[in-house]
A and B are shown apart, each in its own frame.
Chain A
Amino acid sequence: DAGVIQSPRHEVTEMGQEVTLRCKPISGHDYLFWYRQTMMRGLELLIYFNNNVPIDDSGMPEDRFSAKMPNASFSTLKIQPSEPRDSAVYFCASSLWGSNTEAFFGQGTRLTVV
């Protein structure tokens, strides 16, 4: 398997624009996680899914953020409208069932909102 695949790797957008980040988890994994990494706040869990169903979205910072998982092999994180404070690296990760199993991370999307 190629691992968790995220696209794009880098995104530069203007304030107010819609941004969509994409993730393809490892085949067979039934958990998918979205994290945001910043210098100030470290790694924050935004939302996670189990079998395509959102389980906990309490980390989503505002209504401007939304995430979907229409099928087991694809998820999106959308920001609309984007703001400069959304600039960060966004990671997607996937894992098999079980709280002691390893989560596999994608290489991240570096988002810059100007």
Chain B
Amino acid sequence: GNSVTQMEGPVTLSEEAFLTINCTYTATGYPSLFWYVQYPGEGLQLLLKATKADDKGSNKGFEATYRKETTSFHLEKGSVQVSDSAVYFCALTGGQAGTALIFGKGTTLSVSS
């Protein structure tokens, strides 16, 4: 079945450091890919998405490119801020999974000043 694997955390960085959170997926068909972010005590919010191969999603300085050849959707940011501290979830939908989002286990990011 469809699944998402993302790097385990926590990831601890200093402010202005470069961030990469790896995400790979297994899916039949042509899924859409998402990154969601969860701040403490809140629900998940969409950060960015890509709906077809080679699409790049971007938002708030974060980027991720849908790589069908490597089945990956790695999240990157060139310069993190303390306010980026949160849990990040990679997810997919579509294909065999239908409309429901299937999530990875989440990666906790902690940024210190």
> How far in angstroms is the closest Cβ of chain A from B23?
13
Which of these binds chain B: A14-22, A66-74, A97-105? Answer: A97-105
Contact residue range for chain A?
A: 20 to 34
Other-chain residue from A48, A98, A107 in contact with B43 (beta carbon distance below 8 A): A107
Range of interface residues on B (Cβ < 8 Å): 20 to 34
Task: Provide the bound-state CA to CA distance between A108 and B95, in Å.
Answer: 27
Interface contact A48-B106, CB-CB below 8 Å: no
Which one of B13-21, B44-52, B73-81 is at the interface? B44-52
B51 touching A100 by the CB < 8 A rule? yes
Name A89's closest neighbour in chain B (CB-CB). Answer: B43
Are A50 and B103 in contact, with the CB atoms below 8 A?
A: no
- Let me know if A42 is at the binding interface, CB within 8 A: yes
Please list the residues of chain B having a beta carbon within 8 angstroms of any beta carbon in chain A.
31-32, 34, 41-46, 49, 51, 89, 93-95, 97-106
Q: Report A's interface with B, CB cutoff 8 A.
A: 4, 31, 33, 35, 41-43, 45, 48, 50, 55-56, 91, 93, 95, 97-100, 102-103, 105-108
